[in-house]
Structure 1
Amino acid sequence: MDTSVNEVRLVGRVSGSPVHRVLPSDDELVTFRLVVDRPVKARSTSSGRQVRVDTIDIACWTSRTRRRAIALESGECVEVSGALRRRFWRAGAAAVSRCEVEAASIDRLRVGAA
């Protein structure tokens, strides 16, 4: 039995305009950032600094999620479901990585529905 689960559900506001790219492999990708409010109890860090939001990178690889993402506008409230992924690549001589959510679905929400 497989006990591993990698499911993410986020509700937040689109930050900036989505970006469409064609990679050297000819794969297409649309990315955008989602701003998610932190619950009041989770806003303090160990240093005592207040963090009110998290900004999360969203990657859209399927044609359906790319179409939905590219039509989004900054400030729009959406729900994103998918999986957390860690991407690795080379930047010059260094290997770098970043965590992002690979979107499986994107749904627009009415204001106040979040």
Structure 2
Amino acid sequence: MAARAVTRDRVVNVNRLQLVGRLGDPPVESELPSGDVIASFRVIVDRPAGHGSGQRVDTLDCTAWTSRVRKTVRGWQRGDLVEIEGAVRRRFFATPAGRASRFDIEVSSARRVRRAASA
């Protein structure tokens, strides 16, 4: 069910998205300095024709933080058609040149729609 972003009395902020696309590479699990374990992967989503820039796809970085979602994505392979739900997050981190940031999708649920065709 979709949330209403505007009600009669107030504006409600919504940061929720759904993506359906191809998996760029198998998810990679890693442990952060904090001890948290994450699974990182990229989803490639086709753009509809006629959207101006000439770019045909968007490649979106995704991160699974919960053990339930990490377990779900663990067996995914390059080219699988996947569906994810989550929210856009801005992450801050230190680099040799100073603080930096990037946006990614924090995945709250995931499923494989179809396995990639065999090579």
Normalised by the length of structure 2, the TM-score is 0.84
Retained in 1: the 8 A contact 2:38–2:63?
yes
Distance 2:114 2:91 in 1: 32
Q: Percent identity?
A: 42
Give CA deviations for 1:23-42 in whole Å, capped at 9, x if unaligned: 11111000000000000022
The structure in which a higher percent of residues are strand is: 1
Match of 1:102 in 2: 106
One-letter identity of the residue aligned with 1:25: S
Confirm whether residue 38 of structure 1 aligns to residue 47 of structure 2: yes
| Distance (Å, rounded) in 2 between the aligned partners of 1:38 and 1:2 | 29
Distance 1:2 1:71, change over 3 A: farther
**Partner of 2:26: helix, strand, or coil?**
strand
| Structure 2 SS opposite 1:82 | strand
Cα deviations by residue, 1:40-98 (Å, 9 ceiling, x for unpaired)? 022x22xxxx2100000000000011111221100000000000000011102411111
More deviation, 1-10/96-105: 1-10
Q: Is 1:3 the equivalent of 2:12?
A: yes
The residue matched to 1:109 in structure 2 has which SS? strand
Q: Which has the higher contact order (CA 8 A, sep 6+)?
A: 1
Paired with 2:94 and 2:106, the residues of 1 have a C-alpha distance of 20
Task: Count residues in correspondence.
Answer: 106
Q: CA RMSD in A?
A: 1.3
Corresponding residue of 1:13:
22
Q: TM-score, normalised by structure 1?
A: 0.87
Distance 1:70 1:86 in 2: 24
Q: Is the 8 A contact 2:73 2:111 kept in 1?
A: no
